[in-house]
Structure 1
Amino acid sequence: MLKNRSLRFKLSAFILTGTILVAAVLFSYYYSVSRKLILESALTNARHLTMETVNSVENVFRSTAKIPENLVYVFETGVTDEKALYRFMETVVKNNTELFGSAIAFEPGAMVPGVERFAPYFYKNNGQIVYSNLSDPAYNYHLQDWYQIPKELNKPVWSEPYFDEGGGDIIMATYSVPFRWPNDGVNENKFRGIITIDISLVWLKQVFEELSIYETGYGFLLSQSGKFLVHPDPDNVMNASIFDIAELQQDEKLRELGRKMVRGQTGFMNIIEPVTGQEVYLCFAPFPSSGYSMGIVIPTAELFAGLTRLNRNVAIIAVLGLLALFGVISLISGRITEPIRRLSGATTLIGQGDFNAVLPKIDTNDEIGQLMRSFETMQIALAEYIENLKKTTADKEKIEGELRIAHDIQMSIIPRTFPPFPDRSDVDIYGILESAKAVGGDLYDFFLLDENRLGAAIGDVSGKGVPASLFMAVTRTLLRAKSMNMKNASPGKIVTSMDIDLCTENDASMFVTFFYFILNLKTGELEYCNAGHNPPFVLDEDGEITAIDTVHGFPLGVMEAEPYETGKIKIRPGTRIVLYTDGVTEAENEARELFKEKRLLETLKLMKDVQDPKEITLAVKKAVKEFTLEAEQSDDLTMLVINYLGGNYTSK
């Protein structure tokens, strides 16, 4: 993305990117800390508001609970008159505005002897105190929860809230307190009955409606069983429990919240509000006296609304600031990089070959000034280098031209016309010589000594290049001269004579491995001499391959040794003689592995029925090239293949 941008742009982009990264880290830290502090503050406030509400409601419940507890004291001290009881109860209901009604329910015969059910009940109706008796057998108050539970537990109990349909048509709760017979020595403080008070819970709705919890936050109240007593949705009040909604929504966290609240626990939870589907924080606490539990719901979005607005404003300011910063950085970096831009233009001209291009004047001592002075030095050095390069190139071209001429001369002394004896049917020959450099030191040669005898040789001069090529030319010249002057001499004598001449004044200590043979084309008799060369292979007319592995002495030119001997074999028509240099067997691939004689023999076995020397030669060459692939040729590659056909030979 920045590859083709200017240095000015890159510098501005890098600085701006670094600034953005630092700012992002700081902003993230600020946001995280701010969010944590806001949440802690909000939860603390919610806890205070919850406890304040709990204490306020508890004061009402506690003060109301004292009324039946005081009545218990009165009855346990000996009130036995029925009329006095009625007057007392009516007065209690009338003078306590929190009460909706009060009842005293006796055990059978506990108030009026012989009367099984006696339970006077006074309650308010349209501003009047109304009397009712709960002794209806169909009602049978002895079996009601408000009677049985406190009797069995022997302690005061708040009932589950209920809707007083047909009475006050309001939500009420009943507080039941057991009382006993006076300790008069007769009844021995036995259980005598239950005193109840009924209080309206309508005022709780007003308490929760007055709670200020952000914009849409709210409070709610649960009974001991989890039923909603106060909720912003009136359809839920006394009709649904928190567990009903949790089951409907399949919300396990809401179900867990309900369990904690009905168990009377205090705490916080982060849940999804079932109606709106929004994330909320919820603070909950119990009412100890009644067993009810309240919760305060704080919408997360509203909780962090101020922080969100602040972050948005900070982001806008940051973007504007970064744009301004980019402009300032761009301006400064432009002034810094201007000398580099002018220097770049001058170096472009230098790169195009104008080494006299004028460089801009930069007098500073900073890095740009140092770069300018380095370019001035480079410009002078380049001009000198190009001048030297021109001279060197001219010299190199001259040398290469001379080497091409030398190569042409070298190749001109090697037989390259095939077939060499088109008018003869007793022999066929093919050879190749590929130098590793412009000129090399390998050689091969063949010629007719007379009508019936063929002379052939192959050699490999030590080293490469011009010295090797000159030594090769001398060797080939000596071969021709000695062979023609010593026509009746054996190969051993001719090679011995060549060795004496090559050792004379051989200050460069060069030598040549050499194999020379004379083949009688009429009889098939082959005389040979091997001066340290690779053993040739003979493929007979049946396809059998043998090596001429006798070596008669050191390579030529090493030192004047004992006379070289001559070996003799006899071959039959259809025999092929394969001569080669170590450029074949020692050819290397990229893994520096050698071709070796093993692969050469495998290739020759594939050619055992092939009579054409050219086809055999090219097959070996192809095998070597496929082995070396892209590896550079390290030595001259030379082969010479002679197919002896004989005077009476007929092709198979």
Structure 2
Amino acid sequence: MTTTVPPASLSTLLQPSPGPVLALKQLVARLQRENSKIQELLASLSFALRTLNNLNQFFELIPLITSRVTEADATALVLFRADGQVRLEQLHCHASDQCPNIRSALETATRTLANGLANVDPTHAQDSLESQLDAQLAARIPPGIRFFGTSILVKDSQLRERGRLYIFTQAPTYDWSETRQHLMQVIADQTAMAIANDELAVKLRERQRLDRELEIGAEIQKNLLPSHCPEIRGLELAAACRTASWVGGDYYDFIPITYGQGDHNTIAQGRWGIAVGDVMGKGVPAGLIMTMTRGMLRAEALNGHRPSRIMQHLNRAMQPDLENSHRFVTLFYAEYNPQTRILSYSNAAHLPPLLWQARTASVRRLDTYGMLIGLDGRAQYQEVAVQLEPGDRIIFYTDGITEAENPQRERFEEFRLQAALRQACQLALSPDRVLEHIFTTVSQFTGPVKEEQDDMTLIVLSVTD
């Protein structure tokens, strides 16, 4: 017997049941809500990374957000400090019955690893810190709890392990899916970025602090050098010091030996000490030794001692400190008497000043025997005197000038300095112009300087009458 189905009934049979469709729609809606929630959480973490200045506040968010996006029972952030310490930084746990056990396992594992008491099998002695931590944690985590970890890698000069991000679950059906692994890695990368940014900020603040201290040191040193050349009867002077860094080791000074013994005119006509020196090395240590040299030299000069005696006293006084610092000082010290135009001088292994004698149109070196200041406390120093005449010129300088190099690694050397002095004197340039001429000649020789060169100091003395 054949049964005929009415058309309306057939249409009804062919339509899908409302139950599965509704369930599918609900599933899609739930997945969309979950995806939206995850996106919002990750966006919140990115916002915190940009806005939070306190790294600890950012660390507090990491386990919480990790737990939400991975649906884990507990989440922990463990950091490897630069000093070698392994530390449980943050733990977020809502599995109340196992929270104390998870915390205890983490603290014991990190403490054991940090103290170097981990019983690592010799065959795994080269395992990474992360592998050792995982092994320590696996040995202490309560049964029934599984954990998964993701590396926190920070790149500076190389890629370094800086921590571990863990999740814990008691659910037997929990799936460590590729999606959850990806989400964990995103959060770990954000954490690594926060660590790198914080360390960079610390280095920047330290650099700014050092720059400020160097700036202050340079200002102090600048104030210790003569702000202008003094008025000395029968002389015209020009001087400049160009340091290679914030604080330099070059030194020059003009010391009124009759200071405090009369008015300005009396001092100008009295004896004057002229010094130029160089501390081995550059930067702050050299600047500190230069400051010490200046103070002690002035004290000796104002006592009225002769140049050779001043060198001897200075060497004996400074030798213990300089020997301990492994630095030494070259120093040329001269005393000029305007009444007689006699220059008496002594040299402690400094580059000899160059004297242009107008009468003979020749250049001679002003030198005496003497060792570096600070090398040997028993060293003796010679003293020589020279009679100056109107038109004579003397240049006192440091090795930054003669050792200046051009792109072919050739040095300026003394013979080029002598040639520049001769040319300037033949043109009858003033001391200021002689100074400018020599610095310009050196600059033309070296060309554009790509590497930091040494400090350059130059004093030009011209006898007028």
Same fold (TM over 0.5): yes
The offset of 1:550, in angstroms, is 2.7
Instruction: Choose from 420, 441, 452 the match for 1:633.
Output: 452
* Mapped contact 1:574–1:611 kept (Cα < 8 A): no
Counterpart amino acid of residue 616 in structure 1? V
Question: Match for residue 484 of structure 1?
Answer: 302
Instruction: Choose from 495, 499, 504 the match for 2:311.
Output: 495
CA distance in 2, matches of 1:503, 1:432: 28
CA distance in 2, matches of 1:371, 1:619: 68
Instruction: Choose from 430, 435, 446 the match for 1:617.
Output: 435
CA distance in 1, matches of 2:345, 2:209: 43
Q: 1:380 to 1:513 in 2, by over 3 A?
A: same
- Asked if 1:475 corresponds to 2:283, the answer is no
Q: 1:400 to 1:497 in 2, by over 3 A?
A: same
CA distance in 1, matches of 2:185, 2:401: 52
* Mapped contact 1:613–1:642 kept (Cα < 8 A): yes
Counterpart amino acid of residue 213 in structure 2? E
Instruction: Choose from 381, 389, 401 the match for 1:564.
Output: 381
CA distance in 2, matches of 1:412, 1:482: 21
The offset of 1:413, in angstroms, is 1.0
Say which one has the larger Rg: 1
CA distance in 2, matches of 1:585, 1:540: 21
CA distance in 2, matches of 1:432, 1:465: 18
The offset of 1:542, in angstroms, is 4.5
CA distance in 2, matches of 1:528, 1:410: 25
CA distance in 2, matches of 1:433, 1:520: 25
The offset of 1:522, in angstroms, is 2.2
- Asked if 1:583 corresponds to 2:406, the answer is no
Instruction: For residues 98-156 of structure 1, give each alpha carbon's deviation from its aligned partner in whole angstroms, at most 9, with x where no partner exists.
Output: xxxxxxxxxxxxxxxxxxxxxxxxxxxxxxxxxxxxxxxxxxxxxxxxxxxxxxxxxxx
CA distance in 1, matches of 2:215, 2:250: 17
Counterpart amino acid of residue 644 in structure 1? V
CA distance in 2, matches of 1:375, 1:543: 83
Q: Using structure 2 for the length normalisation, give the TM-score.
A: 0.57
* Mapped contact 1:520–1:526 kept (Cα < 8 A): yes
Q: Secondary structure at the match of 2:381?
A: coil
The offset of 1:439, in angstroms, is 0.5
Instruction: For residues 170-215 of structure 1, give each alpha carbon's deviation from its aligned partner in whole angstroms, at most 9, with x where no partner exists.
Output: xxxxxxxxxxxxxxxxxxxxxxxxxxxxxxxxxxxxxxxxxxxxxx
Instruction: For residues 507-527 of structure 1, give each alpha carbon's deviation from its aligned partner in whole angstroms, at most 9, with x where no partner exists.
Output: 213210010111222222111
CA distance in 2, matches of 1:550, 1:601: 15
CA distance in 2, matches of 1:592, 1:372: 57
Instruction: Choose from 331, 349, 365 the match for 1:514.
Output: 331
Q: Secondary structure at the match of 1:504?
A: helix
Instruction: Choose from 221, 224, 243 the match for 1:413.
Output: 224
Question: Match for residue 235 of structure 2?
Answer: 427
Counterpart amino acid of residue 554 in structure 1? M
Question: Match for residue 393 of structure 1?
Answer: 204
Q: Secondary structure at the match of 2:191?
A: helix
Matches within 5 A, 1:243-322: none
Counterpart amino acid of residue 389 in structure 2? R
Instruction: Choose from 271, 286, 302 the match for 1:453.
Output: 271
The offset of 1:483, in angstroms, is 0.5
Question: Match for residue 249 of structure 2?
Answer: 441
Counterpart amino acid of residue 494 in structure 1? I
* Mapped contact 1:441–1:460 kept (Cα < 8 A): yes
Q: Secondary structure at the match of 1:607?
A: helix
The offset of 1:549, in angstroms, is 4.9
Q: Secondary structure at the match of 1:534?
A: coil
Q: Secondary structure at the match of 2:325?
A: coil
Q: Secondary structure at the match of 1:416?
A: coil
* Mapped contact 2:312–2:381 kept (Cα < 8 A): yes
* Mapped contact 2:330–2:350 kept (Cα < 8 A): yes
Instruction: Choose from 193, 198, 213 the match for 1:402.
Output: 213
The offset of 1:543, in angstroms, is 7.3
* Mapped contact 1:462–1:511 kept (Cα < 8 A): yes
CA distance in 2, matches of 1:408, 1:515: 25
CA distance in 1, matches of 2:188, 2:440: 53
Instruction: For residues 527-560 of structure 1, give each alpha carbon's deviation from its aligned partner in whole angstroms, at most 9, with x where no partner exists.
Output: 1111101111111225734232533211101111
* Mapped contact 1:416–1:431 kept (Cα < 8 A): no
Q: 1:391 to 1:579 in 2, by over 3 A?
A: same
Q: 1:372 to 1:540 in 2, by over 3 A?
A: farther
* Mapped contact 2:344–2:385 kept (Cα < 8 A): yes
Question: Match for residue 643 of structure 1?
Answer: 462
- Residue identity over aligned pairs, in percent, reads 30
Q: 1:532 to 1:374 in 2, by over 3 A?
A: farther
The offset of 1:505, in angstroms, is 3.7
* Mapped contact 1:587–1:633 kept (Cα < 8 A): no
* Mapped contact 1:535–1:547 kept (Cα < 8 A): no
Ranges in structure 1 where 5+ consecutive residues have no aligned partner:
1-341, 647-652
CA distance in 2, matches of 1:530, 1:570: 17
Q: Secondary structure at the match of 1:496?
A: helix
Q: 1:564 to 1:377 in 2, by over 3 A?
A: same
Counterpart amino acid of residue 430 in structure 1? A
* Mapped contact 2:353–2:394 kept (Cα < 8 A): yes
Question: Match for residue 161 of structure 2?
Answer: none
Instruction: Choose from 271, 282, 295 the match for 1:464.
Output: 282
CA distance in 1, matches of 2:423, 2:186: 65
* Mapped contact 2:307–2:344 kept (Cα < 8 A): yes
Q: 1:354 to 1:552 in 2, by over 3 A?
A: same
The offset of 1:403, in angstroms, is 1.2
* Mapped contact 1:521–1:644 kept (Cα < 8 A): no
The offset of 1:441, in angstroms, is 0.8
Q: 1:387 to 1:583 in 2, by over 3 A?
A: same
CA distance in 2, matches of 1:640, 1:571: 16
Q: 1:532 to 1:378 in 2, by over 3 A?
A: farther
CA distance in 2, matches of 1:370, 1:535: 73
* Mapped contact 2:242–2:455 kept (Cα < 8 A): yes
Counterpart amino acid of residue 540 in structure 1? Q
Instruction: Choose from 525, 533, 557 the match for 2:350.
Output: 533
- Asked if 1:504 corresponds to 2:320, the answer is yes
* Mapped contact 2:233–2:338 kept (Cα < 8 A): no
Instruction: For residues 302-324 of structure 1, give each alpha carbon's deviation from its aligned partner in whole angstroms, at most 9, with x where no partner exists.
Output: xxxxxxxxxxxxxxxxxxxxxxx
Question: Match for residue 390 of structure 2?
Answer: 573
* Mapped contact 1:537–1:545 kept (Cα < 8 A): no
CA distance in 1, matches of 2:417, 2:183: 62
Instruction: For residues 414-451 of structure 1, give each alpha carbon's deviation from its aligned partner in whole angstroms, at most 9, with x where no partner exists.
Output: 10214x21xx5511111111111110111000123233
Q: Using structure 1 for the length normalisation, give the TM-score.
A: 0.42
* Mapped contact 1:509–1:557 kept (Cα < 8 A): no
Q: Secondary structure at the match of 2:340?
A: coil
Counterpart amino acid of residue 391 in structure 1? V
Q: 1:365 to 1:464 in 2, by over 3 A?
A: farther
CA distance in 2, matches of 1:384, 1:632: 34
The offset of 1:463, in angstroms, is 1.3
Ranges in structure 2 where 5+ consecutive residues have no aligned partner:
1-38, 53-57, 71-174, 259-268
